[in-house]
Structure 1
Amino acid sequence: MKIGLRTLKTVVACFFALIIAQQLDLLYYTSAGIIAILSVGNTKKSSFNTGMARVASLTLATIIAAIIFNLVGYSPLGFTLFLTFFIPLTVRFSLTDGIVVTSVLVTHYLLEQNFGWDLIINEFLLMGIGVGVALLLNLYMPNLEKRIKQEQETIEVHVRQLLLDMADHLAQTNKEDLVISCDALLESIDNGQKQAHMHQENQWFEENWYYEEYFIMRRSQVRLLREMIFILKKIEIEKALVEDLHILLTTAGETLSEANDGIQLLKNIDLVTESYRLKPLPKNREEFENRARLFQCLQIFKNFIELKAEFSMQR
């Protein structure tokens, strides 16, 4: 059985929260441990935002509960009325992360039948200890940048191979279902983007969205390739006419990289497009439809390269 880092941090946070709350002789000290368990998040920012939301929701809950319990008494009816007002307000102020934890703390007011300052301070200390210990432990997060770069390299290799496979498909030397390769690539890109988002969420002061934007760009590119593949399946045309597109795909497959801005490829695509325009007109409907598909593929491929060129210009 493997114990993950988050599990380990959760256990340690619960332990220290319980010890601190117990040493301070707080009522219902076990609540601090539960709050710590629920406050250990996946990233530094998510943990901080959740913690602050819970402190704010406890403040709101204490005010509402004090008014309602003093009006209708410390009873099940009073607690029900409290929830009736509290839950919609937490939704209104985007504090829903604190609904469950705060409601449990409010039951302490119900059980103790009072709203003395000692009890109010007790509840805020329980919340502060649980949230605070979780935040301290979440200050350590593994650096995902190396893993993200490895994911990038893997995706680059797969995209290059897909382009070469598409070129082989045009030359009728590859009959594999390339759509499956596209779908697998999209899964890898989604995984990479999730890691990139977590990496950004673990940075307190840096606003660098490069990795997320990179994976978004690659996802858009692969979707364009997927569209091209469906069109390529329908093209039945003499080899000489598709040779230029074959060369373009092969060149892209051999040169595609994170550093390649695609400008030269765009120039090559324009030259090929112009050469197609100068060729003799189709002789029949079948030739016309195949030529139209060929032009469509060329335009989609140009969009594919333009995405990378625009991405490079923004860096």
Structure 2
Amino acid sequence: MKIGYRTIKTAIGTPLAISIAQFLGLSNFVSAGILTILCIQPSRKQSFLSAWNRFLACVLASVFSLVFFEIIGYHPVSVGLMLAVFIPTTVYLKITQGIATSSVIILNLYSASGIDLNFLTDQFVLIIVGIGTGLLLNLYMPSLDKKLKNKQNRVESNFQTILYEVALYIRNKEIHWDGKEISETEQLLEEAFDLVERDKENHLLRNKHPYKDYFYMRQRQFELLKRMLPLVTKLPNKISISEKVAVFFESLSKAVHPGNTAILYLEELTKLQKEFDEEELPETREEFETRANLFRLLHEIEDYLVLKQKFKKSDIQHKKEAKSKAKA
């Protein structure tokens, strides 16, 4: 059984908050641990927002408690009436995240059967200790780079398989592939975007995330790959250029990586398209449909490569520039 970092933070923060509150001589010191548990969040951004919302809700709850309990009395009905007004107020102020936290303070004030300045101060310090401990622990967030890299590797591996299976079908017109990489890639991309968003929230001063553009590019390429598959299945007959297209897809399947060598394959594709244009005109309707689908397939793979070319600076051009500088 794997223990997550949020569990570890909760296990450390709860007794720490209780110990601090107890050391300061605060009443209801156990409540500090409850406040800390409620404040542990999955990202720094959520942590700051949560801490602020919970703090405001707790302060507001203290004011409402003072008014309702002192005027109506310390009776369960007072709690119900106060919550009937307090909760809509938090909704209006968009601090509903603090309802559970503030409920702890409300019940503490109710159980006191009398509220004075000293007790309010006591509860205010309790709020600072509980929420503050959770906030400090949330300043540490483990890096998600390893998980993102793993998603990247798995997406690329699936792309390789899909492209290779396309090459096999063009060449042999046989299907032995179960297509599981399609649904798996969709899931991987969804998970990757969730990780990217969480990692962005952990780096509040970072304007651009290194993986966001990458996975966006792969998502658009994946849509093109899905559009290619029906075209491939509509190639019933081999024509002279089919084997060259199959070789192209097979070669491309081996070149799926984070770098950018798309220009090489775009140049090769241009030659392939030129040969395709020089082919004899189809004589039958079936040959015409085959050529039309093959033409669309080459167009889709061109868009696929252009997306990669625009994603980042070409590694090929970079190498040429490096060699030129070395000679100079």
Normalising by the residue count of structure 2, what TM-score does the alignment of the two structures yield?
0.83
Change (3 A) 1:120 1:305: farther
For residue 141 of structure 1, report the CA deviation from its aligned partner: 2.8
Over residues 15-38 of structure 1, what are the superposed CA-to-partner deviations in whole Å (9 max), with x where a residue is unaligned?
A: 111111112222221111111112
Q: Which amino acid aligns with 2:25?
A: D
Contact 1:162 1:178 in 2 (8 A): no
For residue 98 of structure 1, report the CA deviation from its aligned partner: 0.9
| Residue 228 of structure 2 corresponds to residue 228 of structure 1 | yes
For residue 177 of structure 1, report the CA deviation from its aligned partner: 2.7
For residue 44 of structure 1, report the CA deviation from its aligned partner: 2.5
- 1:244, 1:136 → 2: CA distance? 61
Change (3 A) 1:140 1:283: same
SS in structure 2 at match of 1:177: coil
Report matched runs for 1:92-131 at 5 Å: 92-131=92-131
Report matched runs for 1:251-262 at 5 Å: 251-260=251-260, 262=262
Report matched runs for 1:1-315 at 5 Å: 1-172=1-172, 175-177=175-177, 179-260=179-260, 262-312=262-312
Q: Which amino acid aligns with 2:125?
A: L
For residue 204 of structure 1, report the CA deviation from its aligned partner: 4.1
What does residue 322 of structure 2 align with?
none
For residue 14 of structure 1, report the CA deviation from its aligned partner: 0.5
For residue 260 of structure 1, report the CA deviation from its aligned partner: 1.0
- 1:225, 1:178 → 2: CA distance? 16
Change (3 A) 1:36 1:175: same
- 1:43, 1:69 → 2: CA distance? 37
Over residues 25-72 of structure 1, what are the superposed CA-to-partner deviations in whole Å (9 max), with x where a residue is unaligned?
A: 222211111111122222232222211211122223333444444554
Q: Which amino acid aligns with 2:177?
A: D
Over residues 138-173 of structure 1, what are the superposed CA-to-partner deviations in whole Å (9 max), with x where a residue is unaligned?
A: 333332324433442343233223212221221117
Change (3 A) 1:245 1:32: same
- 2:153, 2:85 → 1: CA distance? 52
Q: Which amino acid aligns with 1:232?
A: V
- 1:164, 1:92 → 2: CA distance? 56
Normalising by the residue count of structure 1, what TM-score does the alignment of the two structures yield?
0.86
Moved more, 92-101 or 74-83: 74-83
Contact 2:221 2:307 in 1 (8 A): yes
* % identical equivalent positions: 29
Q: Which amino acid aligns with 2:186?
A: L
Contact 2:65 2:110 in 1 (8 A): no
Over residues 212-270 of structure 1, what are the superposed CA-to-partner deviations in whole Å (9 max), with x where a residue is unaligned?
A: 33123223322321231233123212242433432432232232321115234334444
Contact 1:261 1:312 in 2 (8 A): no
Moved more, 183-192 or 23-32: 183-192
Q: Structure 1: 5+ residue runs without aligned partners? A: none
Moved more, 7-16 or 108-117: 108-117
Q: Which amino acid aligns with 1:6?
A: R
Change (3 A) 1:277 1:28: same
- 2:284, 2:63 → 1: CA distance? 81
SS in structure 1 at match of 2:254: helix
Change (3 A) 1:61 1:213: farther
Tell me the C-alpha RMSD between the 2 structures.
2.8
SS in structure 2 at match of 1:258: coil
Over residues 86-141 of structure 1, what are the superposed CA-to-partner deviations in whole Å (9 max), with x where a residue is unaligned?
A: 32332333322211111221122223244432232222222221122122223333
Q: Structure 2: 5+ residue runs without aligned partners? A: 315-328
For residue 191 of structure 1, report the CA deviation from its aligned partner: 3.5
Give the paired residue count: 314
Q: Which amino acid aligns with 2:129?
A: I
Change (3 A) 1:80 1:178: same
SS in structure 2 at match of 1:143: coil
